[in-house]
Amino acid sequence: MSSDNSTEQLENDVEDTTKDRYMTFNIESEKYGLEIAFVKEIIEMIPITRVPGSPEYVEGIINLRGDIIGVVDVRKRFGKQPKAYDEQTCIIVVEYQEYVLGLIVDSVNEVMTIEEERVQAPPSAKLSQLNQYIRNIGQLGDGVVLLLDLERLLQG
Amino acid sequence: MADFDRESMMEMFSFEMGQLIEQLEQNIIQSESGYSMDQINEIFRIMHTIKGSAAMMLFDNISTTAHSVEDLFFYLREENPQNVDYHRLTDLVLAGMDFIKVELNKAEAGQTLDGDGSAIIASIKQFLAEIKGEAAPEPLAQEEAPAAHYYKAIVFYEDGCEMENIRAFTLLQNLNKSAAVISHEPADVINEESVEAIRKKGFTLLFSSSQPYAEIYKHLASTVYLKKLLLEELESRQAEVKAPKSYSVKIKFNEDSEMENVRAYALIHRLNEVLEGVEHLPVDLMDDASLEIVRHEGLRINIETVKPKSELLDILESTVYLKELEVEELKSEGDSLNEPDPEVAPAHENAPNADSAPNEAAPAEEKGEEPQKIQAPPAQQHKADDPLAQKKAPTQHVISVNVSKLDQLLNLMGELVISEAMVTQNPELENLELESFHKEARQLRKIIKDLQETVMSMRMVPLSTTFFKMHRIVRDMCRQLGKDVQFEVIGEDTEVDKNIIEHISDPLMHIIRNSVDHGIEMPDVRVASGKSEKGSVTLEAKNSGGDVLIIVKDDGKGLDREKILKKAKNNGLLKKPESEYSDKEVQQFIFLPGFSTNEQVTSYSGRGVGMDVVSTNLEIVGGSVIVDSVPGQGSAFTLKIPLTLAIIDGMTVKMGGAKYTIPIVSIKQSFKASGKDIFTDPNGNEMISTRGEIYNVVRLHEFFGVETAVKNIEEGILIMLENGDQTICLLADELVGEQQVVVKSIPKYFKKTRGISGCTLLGNGDISLIIDVAGFFDK
């Protein structure tokens, strides 16, 4: 019995560690967040092979320890000015349903908890190009985190 | 037996059924124009086995359908009637088989078998009646009618039908109208105690009648709640007191046949169907311990029966995975009465009689299609002239392996190829004196290459199964459309990777449908245009370099340029004046989605889906399709598919900072061009002349829209690529080298890019894009 309880406890803990937890990163001055459950890993920039015929924002493919995955430049995806990659630039590898994709971001911040009551839907009125990838907005004491809609983002 | 391991039986059942149905299909299709005795025997045997196995699994609708087909072939085999409409026969058998297939799928999916085979059975019965009606009088009927025949019948009622004694009494009353009942057992049917006796031993009747066997059988078979009927015609009245004989049978199965107890159970079930008094040891076959006993000591069966020995042997010998069979006749004490002559007693139920037994077994042996069917060396009790006595049991050389394991093996093989390259081409080894290392590395590479070839060859499957399915399609269509087509298959033993086969079955089907439906004309039209009445469709497979070509050729009316152009115009597909389209370009239109020029939608084609499936499915496996058509003379569709998907020999080139790998099979040569051979036509197309031939130059960087430093043709390298009968020269920056690469797909996130079929990892971990050579042609 006791072992059952502890297993259950453990599962709850695992769930708790991902619930309301977001990986945050920066693009320009904005702070964005991704649900931690979808984030596989964060890697530094590695050589990217361009695939001819793909859209501008799709940087190409990388060799992630033998797996080939696609990489998207989030800046370009959001229609922002491209910026030269530096030592801060990172690739966040996300896994969503059957897709595994790398997202190039300016820099990675921290993993933080944003409670449900501090998360609200974005203003629906203006659906600008950027706005359609934002699912929710998280309120922080010193600003906001734009929480990304990964499904939308992956729809090439 | 309620708790037997149904799962494992089901697995064995569906595997065996699959094989049987495949054999059956091949036999039927081959014999459409006339059934040889061998084929009739074979079909009979297959149906018999299907019936038995299905009954064992309690799939009654499969069993009864198979039974009716079996009856039909039993008659064909015994009587060899000459007035059979073979087309109709084939239709009937195929219909029966389709029904069985559908039910089998349900069984495999764990659903209830709710199909109703009665319509098929009825039409088979009617067909049988028609053949019989017009056939020469049956042998039994030839005997002088007034002479009385003596019969012995044993009737078993269905379990739980209750009041067996009353039913027996009713049967007696009914029978008295047409026959004189001499005696019956139990004698007092009205007595309550006889109920149990009838349940256990059946109701035995001895009677005489002037009617022939078939009539009597029919009469008795109509009894309600009938479970089993055994009817024999006795030689004379004396024979009525025929004594049962006892046999002791010992059977061993092949060592690797697995599930021996389940097989034993299946055998006992079959024996029980036809024979009475079957006892076996071990008694509980579903017990795990019995598996060991049957495996090591064999299955012992004691049979006490009045049936001729030949019948018994028939059943025993048809057991699959049979290794040893011993049959011994036991002399019992009460054996002093008349000996029945096994050769004279007519065979019934469905067991074949003694004369045909060797015939029945022989075709399966000769064809060698069924590795698990092994005839055992019979014991000394066999008749000396039995041909089976000479045959030795061959050992099994084939095992079946789960495809996912093969896939895994292939993946690992790919990893091995990559990591070998990573080790031997490791940058840290550069500039080192490593004589011995390179020698060993070469040896390693050789072993890996051999290993890889072996792994690939394991995945190779002949096209024959796929091709045989096409027989059926052509046949069904001809019957329905009223066309007459000679369908020929060439090179069906050509082998292709298993994964690829799955992708070409559909395209092939669509092309063949298209050929029969659109290509071949109606017989009268053909005659009017000076062709033979019978159309011809040829399906051919052959190897050509690293590809397999599958060609579907018909001698029909060919593609109608005007019709296609008109349709293309209506669909807004034309991008230049009609007259500027070459015949080849026009013909390629038919592979676009929604393109059908057939005015009328038939059940086979005309809906506009189909031909586009061909091109899309082929693209998935990196193949292509070419049409060649001459109006009035026919069309030829050539499918070009790679032998294997996984590992290719490639030439890697560099262009604009990225690497590209070109399949070696497509490369004719690579060379540096000199300025004087390069010229440009007024449209700006660059060309090169080499060895007296002129080729178009395609700049890789322009094709892919990529920036590169090498823009001068003289500075770069030209690679001459071949695709079918076309050749171009591709300009790249420089050659990197030749190596085997493992094809990986571009992630799903990317849309398909023309000219790229996948990607691969090079020895140093770099990614190289694999060039799809066909993409550079037919722009």
Cα–Cα distance for residue pair B393/B120, rounded to 1 Å:
39
Domain boundary among B226, B241, B256: B241
Tell whether A10 is covered by a domain. no
Identify the pLDDT of residue B62: 85
Query: Of the candidates A51, A62, A98, which has its C-beta nearest B756's C-beta?
Result: A51
Tell whether A39 is covered by a domain. yes
Instruction: Answer whether A78's CB lies under 8 Å from A27's CB.
Output: yes
Q: In what order do the strands lie in the sheet with B180-185?
A: B180-185, B203-209, B149-157, B226-234
| pLDDT surpassing 80 at residue B597 | no
**Same domain for B628 and B512:** yes
Q: What is the mean pLDDT of residues B216-231?
A: 75
In terms of CA atoms, which chain A residue is nearest residue B703?
A: A52
Chain A interface, mutation test: which of B698, B699, B767, most A Cβ atoms within 10 Å?
B767
What's the pLDDT band for B51 if we cut at 50, 70, 90? confident
Chain B interface, mutation test: which of A51, A91, A152, most B Cβ atoms within 10 Å?
A51
Q: What is each CA distance from B747 to A51, A62, B653, in whole angstroms?
A: 11, 10, 22
| pLDDT surpassing 50 at residue B576 | yes
Indicate yes or no: CB of B418 within 8 angstroms of CB of A99. Answer: no
Cα–Cα distance for residue pair B716/B708, rounded to 1 Å:
11
Alpha carbon of A124: minimum distance to chain B alpha carbons (Å):
28
Tell whether B397 is covered by a domain. no
Indicate yes or no: CB of A51 within 8 angstroms of CB of B746. Answer: yes
Tell whether A11 is covered by a domain. no
Indicate yes or no: CB of A50 within 8 angstroms of CB of B658. Answer: yes
Query: What ipTM goes with this model?
Result: 0.81
Q: What is the mean pLDDT of residues B127-131?
A: 82
Q: How many CA atoms lie within 13 A of B167 on its CB side?
A: 23
As a whole-number percent, the residues of chain B with pLDDT over 70 amount to 81
Maximum mean pLDDT: which of B148-157, B221-230, B308-317, B735-744: B735-744
| pLDDT surpassing 80 at residue B530 | yes
Tell whether B270 is covered by a domain. yes
CATH number at residue B637: 3.30.565.10
Identify the pLDDT of residue B395: 53
**Residues constituting chain A:** 156
**Same domain for B100 and B78:** yes
Domain boundary among B369, B390, B411: B390
Q: What is the mean pLDDT of residues B220-224?
A: 73
Instruction: Answer whether B489's CB lies under 8 Å from B578's CB.
Output: no
CATH number at residue B668: 2.40.50.180
Average the pLDDT over each of B72-86, B321-335, B481-495, B712-726 and give the range with the smallest value: B321-335
Domain span including residue B122: 6-136
Q: Which residues, 6 or more positions from A67, have their beta carbon under 8 angstroms from its beta carbon?
A: A100
Cα–Cα distance for residue pair B751/B726, rounded to 1 Å:
27
pLDDT, tens digit (0-9, with 9 covering 90-100), for B243-297: 667 778 877 777 766 677 777 777 777 777 777 677 777 777 777 677 777 777 7
**Same domain for B772 and B661:** yes
**Same domain for B621 and B498:** yes
**Same domain for B271 and B150:** no
| pLDDT surpassing 70 at residue B718 | yes
In terms of CA atoms, which chain A residue is nearest residue B412?
A: A66
Instruction: Answer whether B568's CB lies under 8 Å from B559's CB.
Output: no
In terms of CA atoms, which chain A residue is nearest residue B422?
A: A66
What's the pLDDT band for B369 if we cut at 50, 70, 90? very low
Mean pLDDT of chain B: 76
Identify the pLDDT of residue B545: 65
Tell whether A12 is covered by a domain. no
What's the pLDDT band for B613 if we cut at 50, 70, 90? confident
Q: How many domains does chain A have?
A: 1
Q: What is each CA distance from B91 to B37, B103, B120, B132, B543, in whole angstroms?
A: 19, 18, 10, 18, 35
Identify the pLDDT of residue A14: 54
Tell whether B82 is covered by a domain. yes
**Same domain for B579 and B473:** yes
Q: What is the mean pLDDT of residues B374-395?
A: 42
Identify the pLDDT of residue B534: 87
Query: Of the candidates B415, B749, B769, which has its C-beta nearest A70's C-beta?
Result: B749
Indicate yes or no: CB of A53 within 8 angstroms of CB of B753. Answer: yes
Alpha carbon of B417: minimum distance to chain A alpha carbons (Å):
12
| Nearest in space to B101 (alpha carbons), one of B84, B120, B87 | B120
Cα–Cα distance for residue pair B741/A50, rounded to 1 Å:
19
CATH number at residue A53: 2.40.50.180
Tell whether B395 is covered by a domain. no
| Nearest in space to B361 (alpha carbons), one of B397, B308, B313, B309 | B313
Helix (H) or strand (E) holding B252: strand B245-253
* Residue in the structure block whose two tokens are 């770099």: B766
| pLDDT surpassing 90 at residue B443 | yes
Q: Tell me which chain A residues have a C-beta less than 8 angstroms from the C-beta of B748.
A: 98-99
What's the pLDDT band for B92 if we cut at 50, 70, 90? confident
Tell whether A2 is covered by a domain. no
Q: What is the mean pLDDT of each run of 10 residues along chain A (156 residues)?
A: 51 64 88 90 90 89 86 88 87 88 91 86 63 81 85 75
Indicate yes or no: CB of A53 within 8 angstroms of CB of B756. Answer: yes
Q: Tell me which chain B residues have a C-beta less than 8 angstroms from the C-beta of A62.
A: 767
Identify the pLDDT of residue B145: 40
Identify the pLDDT of residue B203: 79
Size of interface A-B (CB pairs under 8 A): 71
Dig out the tokens for B542 from the structure. Answer: 């052959």
Identify the pLDDT of residue A116: 84
Chain B interface, mutation test: which of A49, A77, A93, most B Cβ atoms within 10 Å?
A49
**Same domain for B369 and B447:** no
As a whole-number percent, the residues of chain B with pLDDT over 90 amount to 6
What's the pLDDT band for B373 if we cut at 50, 70, 90? very low
Query: Of the candidates A63, A72, A98, which has its C-beta nearest B748's C-beta?
Result: A98
* Residue in the structure block whose two tokens are 């009838």: B198
CATH number at residue B369: 3.30.70.1110
Helix (H) or strand (E) holding B619: helix B611-620
Identify the pLDDT of residue B652: 93
- Burial label for B50, CB within 10 Å (0-12, 13-18, 19+), is buried
Indicate yes or no: CB of A68 within 8 angstroms of CB of B761. Answer: yes
**Same domain for B153 and B62:** no
Indicate yes or no: CB of A53 within 8 angstroms of CB of B761. Answer: no
- Any alpha helices (H) in B80-193, and if so which ranges? 86-108, 118-134, 139-142, 164-176
Identify the pLDDT of residue B181: 72
Identify the pLDDT of residue B139: 41
Indicate yes or no: CB of A101 within 8 angstroms of CB of B765. Answer: no
Chain A interface, mutation test: which of B744, B749, B764, most A Cβ atoms within 10 Å?
B749
Q: How many domains does chain B have?
A: 6
Cα–Cα distance for residue pair B43/B528, rounded to 1 Å:
40
Q: What is the mean pLDDT of residues B692-699?
A: 89
Determine phi and psi for B612, rounding to 5 degrees. Answer: -70, -25
Q: Which residue has the higher pLDDT, B188 or A58?
A: A58
Q: What is the mean pLDDT of residues B705-725?
A: 86
| pLDDT surpassing 60 at residue B762 | yes
Which residues of B lie closer than 8 Å to A, measured between beta carbons?
A: 415, 418, 658-659, 703-706, 744-751, 753-756, 759, 761, 765-769
Indicate yes or no: CB of B748 within 8 angstroms of CB of A101. Answer: no
Identify the pLDDT of residue B423: 86
**Same domain for B261 and B161:** no
Q: Tell me which chain A residues have a C-beta less than 8 angstroms from the C-beta of B761.
A: 63, 66, 68
In terms of CA atoms, which chain A residue is nearest residue B706?
A: A52
Q: Tell me which chain B residues have a C-beta less than 8 angstroms from the C-beta of A101.
A: 747, 749
pLDDT, tens digit (0-9, with 9 covering 90-100), for B313-349: 777 777 767 777 777 777 654 444 344 444 444 434 4
Query: Of the candidates B753, B761, B767, which has its C-beta nearest A52's C-beta?
Result: B753
Query: Of the candidates B415, B418, B749, which has its C-beta nearest A101's C-beta?
Result: B749
Q: What is the mean pLDDT of residues B479-508?
A: 85
Q: Would you call B241 helix, strand, or coil by DSSP?
A: helix
**Same domain for B555 and B438:** no
Domain boundary among B331, B357, B390: B390
Q: What is each CA distance from B569 to B197, B595, B598, B611, B627, in whole angstroms?
A: 83, 11, 16, 18, 20
Identify the pLDDT of residue B757: 83
**Same domain for B496 and B613:** yes
Q: Would you call B573 helix, strand, or coil by DSSP?
A: coil
Instruction: Answer whether B321's CB lies under 8 Å from B257's CB.
Output: yes
pLDDT, tens digit (0-9, with 9 covering 90-100), for A124-147: 655 555 567 788 888 887 788 888
Instruction: Answer whether B621's CB lies under 8 Å from B642's CB.
Output: yes
| Nearest in space to A135 (alpha carbons), one of A55, A51, A38, A66 | A38
Identify the pLDDT of residue B731: 92
Domain span including residue A84: 20-154
Q: Tell me which chain B residues have a C-beta less than 8 angstroms from the C-beta of A47.
A: 766
**Same domain for B584 and B596:** yes
pLDDT, tens digit (0-9, with 9 covering 90-100), for B580-590: 788 877 877 77
Indicate yes or no: CB of A68 within 8 angstroms of CB of B705. Answer: no
Dig out the tokens for B276 from the structure. Answer: 């009475």
Crossing angle, helix B86-108 and helix B464-481, to 10 degrees?
Answer: 130
Q: Tell me which chain A residues have a C-beta less than 8 angstroms from the C-beta of B753.
A: 51-54
Indicate yes or no: CB of A52 within 8 angstroms of CB of B750. Answer: no
